Amino acid sequence: MNNAARSGPKLVVEADRVPVSSEQPGKVIELEAVSVRYGAGRSATTALGETTLDVRKGEFISFVGPSGCGKSTILRLVSGLVRPTSGVVVVGGREVAAKTLRVGMAFQNASMMPWLTVERNVMLPLKIVQPFRSEYRRKRKTEFRDRVRSLLAQVGLDGFANHFPWQLSGGMLQRANLCRALVHDPQLLLLDEPFGALDQFTREELWGTLQALWLDRRPTVLLVTHDLREAAYLGSRICVMSPRPGKIIDDTPVPFSYPRTLAMTYEPDFVALGRRMRELIAPLQPAGAGV
C-alpha cells in the first residue's frame, strides 16, 4: 500500500546485533489516501494532504519534516483524536473509530498530576484501561505496585516511587512519563516530541532508555521529532514530510543494527543518512528557517 520511495545509503549490519528487518508480519496501521482538513470555505486549512502509509507490527517509525507538516496529525488520526476528512485509517485491523489496539502516549510535557506520587502517576493507565481497570482495587497495592516499581527501576528511577513530580528533574519526569505510557503494555506507542524540552545531554541519555524499553517490549512506535539524529538513532524507518499540506515524500529504512550507540551517530554512514534527510527537508523550509 505504501507508495513512498524507500531509498538510502547502504550500511553494514553487524551480525551479532539485532538486525533491522522490513519483513515483520502483520500490518498494525494502514492509512489509505487519508487527508485532514480543518474549517470550511476560505478559512479552511489542509493539515494533511492525501497520505498512504503501512506500519507493520513492532516497527519504530520516525516522522521528520518542517513545522506544521502534519506529523502530529498522523498521531492524532491513529489515536482516534482526529477523524480523516477523506480516506480510511485502519489500526489493528479495524477502522480507528472501532475498538482497536491498546495505546500508550507520551508528549513533550510530562503533565504529571502534582498531588500524586510518581508511583501513583505511573499507575494511572492501570486505573483507566481495561482489562486492568477491573482488577485495580484488588491489585493496586500488590501486583500493580510491583509492576510500576519494576518499570521505574528499569529506567533508573529506583527509589523515587514515593517522590512527587515537583521533586524530579525534567529528565527524570520524562523517564516517569515513558513508564506511564508503557505500564499497561500497549501494542502501540505514540510519541510526540517527548524529549524536545530537554537539554542535549539528557535527551541523548533518554534515547538509550527508550531504545532499551522498545527492544524489551517491542510495541509498534510512531515518533514525531525535529531532531534528525534522534530519528535515525531510534527509528527502523524514517518518513520525511513536506510542508502543509503535509505528505510523506520519502520513506527510508534505517539499516543500522540494534542496539545503537551514541558513538554510531558519528560514523560516516550515519552522518550521511542525516545529511540526506537534511537535504530533503532544507528546500522545503521557509527562508531563514533552520533544520
Amino acid at position 207, single letter:
W
| Domain-ending residue, one of 185, 206, 231 | 185
Residue 291 maps to a domain: no
113 and 152 together in one domain:
yes
Q: How far is CA 169 from the centre of its chain?
A: 22
What would the pLDDT profile of 14-28 be if each residue is shown by its tens digit? 333 444 444 445 899
- State whether 123 and 264 are in the same domain: no
Together in a domain, 192 and 86? yes
Residue 290 has pLDDT above 60, yes or no: no
Co-location of 114 and 225 in the same domain: no
Q: Are residues 136 and 117 in the same domain?
A: yes
| Pair 172, 95 in one domain | no
Picking from 185, 210, 234, the residue at the C-terminal end of a domain is 185
Task: Give domain status of residue 160, yes or no.
Answer: yes
pLDDT of residue 193: 93
Per-residue model confidence as pLDDT tens digits over 178-200: 999 999 999 999 999 999 989 99
Query: Does 202 reside within a domain?
Result: no
In a domain, 119, yes or no: yes
User: Is the domain of 253 the same as that of 138?
Assistant: no
Cis peptide before 245 (omega within 30 of 0): yes
Same domain, 244 and 123: no
Question: How far is the CA of 13 from the CAs of 7, 10, 254, 266, in angstroms?
Answer: 16, 9, 10, 16
Same domain, 176 and 191: no
Give the three-state DSSP class for 86: strand
Task: Specify the pTM.
Answer: 0.87
249 domain-assigned: yes
Asked if residue 79 belongs to a domain, the reply is yes
| Cβ neighbour number for residue 149 with a 10 Å cutoff | 19
Of 7-16, 107-116, 216-225, where does the model show the most confidence? 216-225
One domain for residues 96 and 130: no
- Cα–Cα distance, 60 to 124 (Å, whole number): 25
Tens of pLDDT, residues 216-255? 999 999 999 999 999 999 999 999 999 888 899 999 999 8
Q: What whole-number distance in Å separates Cα of residue 190 and Cα of residue 188?
A: 7
Candidate from 18-22, 46-50, 140-144, 233-237 with smallest mean pLDDT: 18-22
The answer on 192 and 277 residing in a single domain is yes
What grid cell was written down for 46?
489542509
Q: CA-to-CA distance for 222 and 89, rounded, in angstroms?
A: 15
In whole angstroms, what is the distance from residue 282 CA to residue 291 CA? 6
Residue 203: inside a domain, yes or no?
no
Residue 191 Cα to chain centre, angstroms: 3
Given a cut of 50, whether residue 13 has pLDDT beyond it is no
**Whole-number pLDDT of residue 4:** 42
Instruction: Please give the grid coordinates belonging to residue 185.
Output: 503494555
Give the range of the structural domain holding residue 281, as residue numbers without chain letter: 1-101+187-197+218-285
Q: What is the CATH number of the domain that holds 46?
A: 3.40.50.300
One domain for residues 193 and 273: yes
**Model pLDDT, residue 109:** 82
For the chain, what is the domain count? 2
Distance in angstroms (rounded) separating the CA atoms of residues 210 and 291? 24
pLDDT (0 to 100) of residue 204: 95
Which DSSP letter does residue 268 get?
H
- Domain membership of residue 269 (yes or no) is yes
The answer to whether the beta carbons of residues 108 and 192 sit under 8 Å apart is yes
